[in-house]
Structure 1
Amino acid sequence: MASNGELPSKQKAAQFHPSDQSVHINEIPVPSIKPDELLVKVRAASLCHSDLMLFEPNDQGLNLGSGDPFTMGHEGCGTILEVGSEAKGFKKGDRVGWLPIIDCCFECDACQVHNLYCETGQSKVQGMTVDGYFQTYCAVKWQNAAIIPDGMDLDSSAPIFCAGATAFNSVEATRAELKGDPKDVYVAVIGCGGLGHLGIQYLKAYGYKVIGIDLSPEALEEAKAQGADYLFNPKEDKDYVKKILEITGKGCHAAINFTNSVPAYSSTPDVIRYNGVLMVTGIPQKPISFSGMDVSMLRIRVRGANNGRTDQLRNCLEFSHKHGIKPHVTQFKLEDFQKMLDTMHAGQHKGRMGVLFE
């Protein structure tokens, strides 16, 4: 490392090697920023379940993990060290988090929905195809960045910038479809892990009744800690659907599925009342399907949500700060990255896991 406040020329990074689908801690150059970028000293980066897609085949048409080794991670936060000449609204020393899509125009009709589908066709996801954030220094597009409110803990904030934004947008999209006093409305959270434990916090902040459903005892324990009103493990309780119908009267008014499980999606309509909302948030490796009759006859209303745009990210940060929403993060050292991956593969974690940099 350099001294006297100067940047080092090299840094360590957790990199995915497409050639053998392995991860190595490599030494790589510290990036130089372009005029439309910010150089950020990363304080924290966290692991998302979708990062595991790099190690598995998918049927979603996603081209992941090809070419040269690249740094993993698409959830991060830190402090700005340098501001590009074209960047607007930021200064050195600002604490920021950001979204991971680059090489998009940020202006076309598609970008107003999600930058991944930019009309240029050049969009890339940092951490999935090009260098991400499991490294000490990274370059960030200023259009993707949002300032973290004073008083929010930087060390635990990294998951907000994917899991938090996704969970918040899912809850907001669900709310738009619901009527009545929240205290009389039941929402099922399918998958109470990294995304779900934040979704529960957002739902409870609005006053909804929450039913947490997960196969993992650890995830259900976390769901309880975050205020879920009822908990069910379908693997251990074969009558869970009957019990949910009894609790809710006619079924949940909505269910947000945060999992990547096709069977979980297939069973979700069972816990939803007539004309209830099924929010598609988690992305399985294989396509999911619904009954055309159920959708056509409004047995269920199928909607979708994702990590969204930067304006939505700012709303998420403001709401999270106001209501004390905080990710549960277990921190690892960069050298223990493989252990973190293995723990997520085994489903033996609560909330999120990440790396805290010096």
Structure 2
Amino acid sequence: MRAGRWNPSEKRVIIEHVPIPQPGPNQFLVKLASASLCHSDIMAIDAGQTATLGHEGAGYIESIHPSAEGKGFDIGDKIGFLYIIGCCFKCEGCMIHILHCVTGKQLLQGFTTDGFFAEYAVVDYQNCIILPESIDVKKAAPIFCAGITAFHAVDSSELAACDWLAIVGAGGLGQIATQIAKAKGVNVVAIDINDATLEVCKQQEADQVYNSRTSKIYVEELKQLTNGGCKTACVFSNAQAAYAGVPPILRLGGVMMIVGLPHDNIPISTMDLALGRYKVKSESTSIPQRMKNAVDFLGEHGIQPEVQIRRLEDLNDMVNEMRAGTATKRMLVTF
């Protein structure tokens, strides 16, 4: 099969022909329908791993290991899955971001399988879910990191209908979060430094968008629009500046939701926390047991990731575009 593998010595993605993997105990062999690029894949590259890239995927069950039979799945089922495979951590339901720690120094330690930018992959049945008919498997890959993470972030943000939510970082996660928030009846302000990604959020019915780089008075305008500030700010950017800009846009007692992962720790005012000016929460893709609620919501409301369909041969260009911050939608390969 073809696979897009990062070559550390050449510092680029190479499309190689590698053996089709075989499912082990409790696993399926999946024919990939789609795979998409996530910023966490850049962390894998920075960690110097020689591996097939990609942890966002969806596809069809090709074969089932005997130990995974009778678990509610059949050959041909259209499925999505969390990338927790071959895990050596002895915890119940380890989180996806164990794979993608902030420093990258522990990335993929204890994991023995490659990623989803390939024609086939093996997945553990415990991490799989049958896709609703309303979700297109050819575009579903970003749901299984970005989409689920965005849902958890919005769902945990302590928002009621008509509250104001700031989406800080209008890329792939921010665009899905905008759709989720609007489906919940929440007012949305999207903030970014990229007008193209902001335009996508605007098309998704964000109530207002602000370019924090070019607008000198957006904080004042936002406070006037929201009658004192947003109830919650979900930060999907990994930029320190994005986090630094959150306290001024929150109303008293608001929530800073940490999702984006900067390389360095973010500064938090202990005085602000002690005085109750705002509080800090965080979300991630989380564990497989929480996946169904997110996928069901996305399917019920017809929420699909905004994607740009590419070829597997474009994967190296995709990596460069993500590094440069020029991508406006989730970059996806179909098979």
- In structure 1, which of residues 1, 8, 22 is the aligned counterpart of residue 12 of structure 2? 22
Q: CA contact under 8 A between 1:73 and 1:132: conserved in structure 2?
A: yes
Counterpart CA distance in 1 for 2:328 and 2:112 is 27
* Matched length: 326
Counterpart CA distance in 2 for 1:71 and 1:262 is 29
1:103 offset after TM fit, Å?
Answer: 3.1
**Mapping of residues 206-225 of structure 1, within 5 Å:** 206-225=184-203
> In the alignment, is residue 137 of structure 1 matched against residue 120 of structure 2?
yes
Further displaced range: 153-162 or 338-347: 338-347
1:298 offset after TM fit, Å?
Answer: 1.6
1:124 offset after TM fit, Å?
Answer: 7.0
**Mapping of residues 145-224 of structure 1, within 5 Å:** 145-174=128-157, 177-178=158-159, 181-183=160-162, 185-224=163-202
Structure 1: which 5+ residue stretches go unaligned?
A: 1-10, 57-63
Further displaced range: 82-91 or 38-47: 82-91
Paired amino acid for 2:141: A
Counterpart CA distance in 1 for 2:98 and 2:310 is 33
Paired amino acid for 2:270: G
Summarize the Cα distance change of 1:85–1:104 in structure 2 as closer, same or farther, 3 Å threshold.
same
- In structure 2, which of residues 262, 271, 279 is the aligned counterpart of residue 284 of structure 1? 262
Q: CA contact under 8 A between 2:96 and 2:285: conserved in structure 1?
A: no
Counterpart CA distance in 2 for 1:197 and 1:116 is 21
* Residue of structure 1 in register with 2:235 after alignment: 257
* Residue of structure 2 in register with 1:3 after alignment: none
* Residue of structure 2 in register with 1:231 after alignment: 209
Q: CA contact under 8 A between 2:308 and 2:332: conserved in structure 1?
A: yes
> In the alignment, is residue 37 of structure 1 matched against residue 27 of structure 2?
yes
Paired amino acid for 1:71: T
- In structure 1, which of residues 74, 82, 90 is the aligned counterpart of residue 55 of structure 2? 74
TM-score by length of 1: 0.86
Counterpart CA distance in 2 for 1:102 and 1:113 is 10
Query: What per-residue deviation string (whole Å, max 9, x for no partner) do you get for residues 179-231 of structure 1?
Result: xx512x10000001110000000000000000000001111011101110000
Where 2:232 maps in the other structure, the secondary structure is strand
Q: CA contact under 8 A between 1:101 and 1:125: conserved in structure 2?
A: no
Where 1:101 maps in the other structure, the secondary structure is coil
Where 1:326 maps in the other structure, the secondary structure is coil
> In the alignment, is residue 91 of structure 1 matched against residue 74 of structure 2?
yes
Q: CA contact under 8 A between 1:104 and 1:111: conserved in structure 2?
A: no
Query: What per-residue deviation string (whole Å, max 9, x for no partner) do you get for residues 301-330 of structure 1?
Result: 100000012222111111111101011111
Structure 2: which 5+ residue stretches go unaligned?
A: 100-105
1:115 offset after TM fit, Å?
Answer: 5.9
Q: CA contact under 8 A between 1:191 and 1:258: conserved in structure 2?
A: yes
* Residue of structure 2 in register with 1:51 after alignment: 41
Q: CA contact under 8 A between 1:275 and 1:300: conserved in structure 2?
A: yes
1:114 offset after TM fit, Å?
Answer: 2.6
Counterpart CA distance in 2 for 1:198 and 1:218 is 15
Q: CA contact under 8 A between 2:12 and 2:316: conserved in structure 1?
A: no
> In the alignment, is residue 313 of structure 1 matched against residue 294 of structure 2?
no
Further displaced range: 80-89 or 226-235: 80-89
Superposition CA RMSD, Å: 2.1
1:156 offset after TM fit, Å?
Answer: 0.9
**Mapping of residues 295-314 of structure 1, within 5 Å:** 295-314=273-292
Where 2:172 maps in the other structure, the secondary structure is coil
Query: What per-residue deviation string (whole Å, max 9, x for no partner) do you get for residues 107-160 of structure 1?
Result: x6x535736569xxxx9759x984100000101111111110123211111110
* Residue of structure 2 in register with 1:244 after alignment: 222
Paired amino acid for 1:147: I
Q: CA contact under 8 A between 1:33 and 1:84: conserved in structure 2?
A: yes
Matched residues, percent identical? 39
